[in-house]
Structure 1
Amino acid sequence: MGVMVRNLLAQLLGIATAISLAAVGGTAPVPAGAADVRGAPTAAADSPADLTGDIDFSVPSGTFQGELSVSLGTSVTGAEIRYTTDGTLPGPDSRRYDDTPLLLSGTTQLRARPFVGGAPAGDPGTALYVARAMDVSLDLPILVIDGYGKGKPGRDFVDSAALLFEPTGGYASLSATPTLATRIGYHLRGTSSSLFDKAPYRVEFRDNEDDDADYPVLGMPAESDWVLRGPYTDKALIREALTFDLARQLGYQAPRYAFVEFYLNVADRPLGAEDYQGVYMIVETIKNAKNRLDLKELDPDDVTLPAISGGYIFKFEWLTAEEPTLECVGRPATCWHYLEVVDPSPLQPEQQAWLTGHLQQFNDLMQSRSFADPTTGYPAWIDVGSFVDSLILNELTRNFDAYARSSYFYKDRGGKITAGPLWDLDITYGVGGGDNLETAGWQYEQPRWPKPNNWINRLVTDPAFVGLVRARWAELRRGPLSGAQLDARFAAITAPLVNAAERNFQRWPNLTTEKIGPIVTPTADTWQGQVRYMRDWMTERMAWLDSSAGWGGAAAAGG
């Protein structure tokens, strides 16, 4: 396959096209265990204090069927209450609450605020009431997003309600108490994946002032920014999850996640069975925050050393990098391309210039004859261990986008350039196109043009670096990548998904569809068959990496 053909395939797999990649799907089923019930909503157990403010809602946030009566009160002395149902904050001219209970018949964002003498006299409060036409009982957590009938989202944030229901006694129900009920903004994300009916979304938790609101989610630390990823071309449903888990066990940065079954209502009607979207992952975004990467934060006035030296998060996004980007000076064959700065945001001109200069020095070094000098070469510039693990993870998975897209790096203040975190791993383990479907060969040899960078290609010419990779691979094959530990990992991650996977593929019947848009995927009659394909592919891939053509005979038996 020639370079031009490979580049065309890569573009088709990675950037938006005019061709719809949506799979053919039927009417959404009512998931197993569904039963229609009626009654008042069950309220959120712990409504966030910043959301309810100084308003007492007689019925806290939750779901309901039919009609719902809600009364309002406040502890602010001598205050009258003004309220809205259109999502806007109440003002002095908003409707006055006259002590008559409000009767709701549809999904409503009820917002209220106390006023004294025509002026705000306390914190506003919001309660979220999602109308539903049914109930379900599922063995995974249930996430509901209701967009108040505004239609499918585009690239701009849409004001919506989010409710999260965790299993109690083994099952989660829409009529039960939501663990979390919050205002959110959400929008479509991704490139080619955004064209799927089962699309990915960016979610931002919001308070009453539309600022970020940090809440814990399913055991993950409190944060405001999340991504919803719905495995679609990954018909085993676990490619990203398993690799994230493996990376964290290695000590490599990777997001935490949780599986949910997702309902999305974009229509102006009660939530129904047709809103079922299947199995999704709630995933931490990559950001500089205490519970994420936790680097030194660059303030706008950090424009001199040592403060200006970090922390930064940057990534390569072949053909799709967004501003601010960093420009390399030099020959196209040895320069970097499509390098986007993720954090800080906004990036000050002085910070952009400093980071560009720092990376230019490193890139120039990597093209020199002395790049591998143990004192002045790349070991003085990069966290070598992270680059070793990055190479192993990208080659193990044969990630189609490895080294080219969603290829993250970070640099803390006074620290070295570090590879990671992992991101975007759906086109892996035998899903994609071209050479990455094969279990033999090196993914770093993929001939994309212009090449985002040649750092790994240069590193693998250094015997000392390759020696570290071989030793690390041997260590991992005796531990996390041994056959026994991988089998245990597969069993643990798939066990909770058995029933949910059946519902997912009733909703999205693509198990035997080989090509989803331009993406080549395995075919198997069952989800279990898809999981087995992935496991078998890994066995063959590791056997090649164990061989003399790979990293050389280091395997434990039974891989």
Structure 2
Amino acid sequence: MNIIKITLLCLWVYSGFAQLTSSNLPIVIINTQGKTIVDEPKTLVQFQIIYNGEGKTNKVTDAPNHYDSFAGVEFRGSSSQMFPKKPYGLELRNADGSENPKELLGMPKESDWILFASYNEKSLMHNVFTLQMAGKLGIYAPKTRYVELIFNDQYQGVYVFMEKIKRDKGRLDISNLKVEDVADDQLTGGYIIKIDKSTGTNLGSFTSKYANRDNNYTSYFYESPKTINNIQKQYIKSYVTKFEDAVYGPDFRDPVKGYMPLIDVGSFVKMFVVNEISRNIDGYRISSFLYKDRDSKGGKLAAGPPWDYDISYGNADYCQGNRSDLFAYKFNQICPTDYWLVPRFWDRMLDDPAFIGEMRNVYFEERKTGGKLSTENLIADIDKIALEIKDAQVRNFQKWPILGTYIWPNPQPIASTWEGEVLELKTWLTARLKWLDENMPKEFVITSNAEPEQNWRVFPNPFLDKIQIELTSKEKAIGEATLFDQTGKLLLSEKLEIVEGKNYLNIDIPQNLNIQGVALMKIKLPSGEVIFKKLLKVSN
């Protein structure tokens, strides 16, 4: 049996002019043994991976040393299925069809994986780059590895082998909701729901009662658990409805009565930043996920994980998707007749100065020189990815000679080389970051509680992990800011180096500082005046 396998692997694999003998990337081999792959259910096939380790060459003549067993394979995706280079979903299995979870290519042990084709996105890196960026911001994002695929002895090009969004300790680490969990804390988590097209969804959905336009309502699809029962469906529906009632209600900006106590503010802020940097034309409205853990583990509605960025970074010729200006969350104004619209709660939150304040804290802190979102670091990340696939991309485009050719929805002009595609990505991203720096929403001061004619402000309120003080001083001086909890216990004390004129002072809240609910800030100004500000801490 092994002799037959090795003999087959010794064959050179041709397809068109593409030839694969060795690669710096892992080599994935699928043999359907005469069976047909369909879009559900998965077909049991032979599945192998050749991977000799980091930095080592992998040859088609090598034994399949990394994985050599079976997998259930199906077509996946919605519009991506129309392309000749097919995307696949797969589940590692034993010969009898049972699950066979494994650690693969340096990623945590699991059975469910994705082979992402990246056909109409010709730099081959939008998804990998974006998910890496999101991960650096502290969001769980599916991990990825580039591979080259051989399917039934035919070379198929460069693919992204990646984690499927799934509840697991090594993935989205939320509570395991079981069928019998129908009461108390066990009922409250963990859930994954998504805003998406109905393709590939068979667990049902519920519809928002708030319209995005006339007769257009967001649908929330149940994603996890896969054995969700009616009691659990009703619970997560009620929680999302409670959030929507709060965010669309008259008191939505109120730190207690509004929406903020119901959500993980940091996750929504970071997903906003990722979607806006990429100007994802599908952002917020398609392939968008939300999740909720048990109340005992925080239990707030969170945004993420990020997913599907192939038609981002200007790679869309509709709804002005090629432009490096304009906000992605304003899609409904740009394309109001589209069937899938952005849920209005995003626009509503961006009308809340507290949310804007948290968003600006995250974005501009990481945009500083050396920050995770600095232009130089993001361009360096692109260059690193490009170096990894530099050799393999040649074979990919020999197999699929589409460079310089229109593939939906590529905007004009279309680069004639892969290097041109990479340059376009870097050029577009640089322009995008410059535009965002100048156009991020700025109305982030809480004006409703601001005292008239005062020369100081403290914001945002509610706060997450940073408090900002804006004040005007007639002289250079040292001030002091102290933070107390509701019992009067001192939590934090910082000196304020105040300059003459306008001051913008940041106070970072340590992660290990346990602040619950309301806190009181005392600020001593250069004039000798002492001011107090009541603030509300929201969970990260």
TM-score tier (shorter): 0.7 to 0.9
CA contact (8 A) 2:90 2:113 kept: yes
1:376-406 Cα shifts (integer Å, max 9, x gaps): 3222100001101111111111111111111
CA contact (8 A) 2:10 2:60 kept: no
Matches within 5 A, 1:157-556: 157-167=42-52, 170-178=56-64, 179-265=66-152, 271=153, 275-318=154-197, 320=199, 322-328=201-207, 330-333=209-212, 336-414=217-295, 415-432=299-316, 433-447=318-332, 448-449=338-339, 451=341, 453-478=343-368, 479-514=371-406, 516-520=407-411, 523-548=414-439
- Work out the CA distance in 2 between the residues paired with 1:521 and 1:303: 53
1:86-142 Cα shifts (integer Å, max 9, x gaps): xxxxxxxxxxxxxxxxxxxxxxxxxxxxxxxxxxxxxxxxxxxx7845571222111
Q: TM-score, normalised by structure 1?
A: 0.72
Matches within 5 A, 1:45-64: 59=2, 62-64=5-7
- Work out the CA distance in 1 between the residues paired with 2:419 and 2:34: 37
- Work out the CA distance in 2 between the residues paired with 1:172 and 1:383: 43
1:149-183 Cα shifts (integer Å, max 9, x gaps): 22454433112111111146732112112121111
1:328-379 Cα shifts (integer Å, max 9, x gaps): 4635348852210111111111101111111111111111011121123222
Q: TM-score, normalised by structure 2?
A: 0.74
SS at match of 2:357: helix
- Work out the CA distance in 2 between the residues paired with 1:156 and 1:307: 31
CA contact (8 A) 2:12 2:21 kept: no
**What displacement does 1:284 show?**
0.2
CA contact (8 A) 1:229 1:280 kept: yes
**What displacement does 1:541 show?**
0.6
Structure 2 spans left out of the alignment, 5+ residues: 14-19, 333-337, 444-540
Decide whether aligned partners of structure 1 residues 280 and 400 sit closer, same or farther in structure 2, where only a CA change above 3 A counts. same
SS at match of 1:64: helix
- Work out the CA distance in 1 between the residues paired with 2:172 and 2:116: 20
SS at match of 1:332: strand
Decide whether aligned partners of structure 1 residues 287 and 387 sit closer, same or farther in structure 2, where only a CA change above 3 A counts. same
Partner letter of residue 159 of structure 1?
Answer: L
- Work out the CA distance in 2 between the residues paired with 1:163 and 1:319: 32
- Work out the CA distance in 1 between the residues paired with 2:340 and 2:125: 32
Query: Which residue does 1:52 correspond to in 2?
Result: none
- Work out the CA distance in 2 between the residues paired with 1:329 and 1:242: 32
Decide whether aligned partners of structure 1 residues 349 and 436 sit closer, same or farther in structure 2, where only a CA change above 3 A counts. same
- Work out the CA distance in 2 between the residues paired with 1:363 and 1:487: 38
- Work out the CA distance in 2 between the residues paired with 1:481 and 1:538: 11
**What displacement does 1:551 show?**
6.0
Partner letter of residue 287 of structure 1?
Answer: K
Partner letter of residue 340 of structure 1?
Answer: F
SS at match of 2:276: helix
Decide whether aligned partners of structure 1 residues 393 and 232 sit closer, same or farther in structure 2, where only a CA change above 3 A counts. same
- Work out the CA distance in 1 between the residues paired with 2:52 and 2:436: 41
Query: Which residue does 1:54 correspond to in 2?
Result: none
Query: Which residue does 1:15 correspond to in 2?
Result: none
CA contact (8 A) 1:234 1:426 kept: yes
- Work out the CA distance in 1 between the residues paired with 2:210 and 2:135: 37
CA contact (8 A) 1:139 1:167 kept: no
Partner letter of residue 419 of structure 1?
Answer: A
Decide whether aligned partners of structure 1 residues 455 and 63 sit closer, same or farther in structure 2, where only a CA change above 3 A counts. farther
- Work out the CA distance in 2 between the residues paired with 1:524 and 1:333: 37
**What displacement does 1:548 show?**
4.0
1:165-217 Cα shifts (integer Å, max 9, x gaps): 11467321121121211111101011110111111100110023312111111
More displaced stretch, 315-324 vs 490-499: 315-324
Partner letter of residue 485 of structure 1?
Answer: N
Instruction: Pick the structure with more strand per residue.
Output: 2
Matches within 5 A, 1:138-157: 138-157=23-42
CA contact (8 A) 1:325 1:338 kept: no
Partner letter of residue 195 of structure 2?
Answer: F
CA contact (8 A) 1:319 1:338 kept: no
- Work out the CA distance in 1 between the residues paired with 2:6 and 2:285: 44
Partner letter of residue 235 of structure 2?
Answer: W
Structure 1 spans left out of the alignment, 5+ residues: 1-56, 66-129, 266-270, 553-559
SS at match of 2:241: helix
Please tell me the root mean square deviation across aligned C-alpha atoms, in Å.
Answer: 2.2
**What displacement does 1:309 show?**
0.4
CA contact (8 A) 2:175 2:189 kept: yes
- Work out the CA distance in 2 between the residues paired with 1:444 and 1:522: 26
Partner letter of residue 312 of structure 2?
Answer: T
More displaced stretch, 392-401 vs 164-173: 164-173
CA contact (8 A) 1:63 1:132 kept: no
- Work out the CA distance in 2 between the residues paired with 1:329 and 1:250: 30
Decide whether aligned partners of structure 1 residues 380 and 197 sit closer, same or farther in structure 2, where only a CA change above 3 A counts. same
Matches within 5 A, 1:59-98: 59=2, 62-65=5-8
CA contact (8 A) 1:321 1:340 kept: no
Decide whether aligned partners of structure 1 residues 322 and 152 sit closer, same or farther in structure 2, where only a CA change above 3 A counts. closer
What is the percent sequence identity of the aligned residues?
Answer: 33
Partner letter of residue 63 of structure 1?
Answer: I
Query: Which residue does 1:268 correspond to in 2?
Result: none
SS at match of 2:366: helix
- Work out the CA distance in 2 between the residues paired with 1:375 and 1:136: 63
1:395-444 Cα shifts (integer Å, max 9, x gaps): 11111111111100110011100111011110110112222211111111
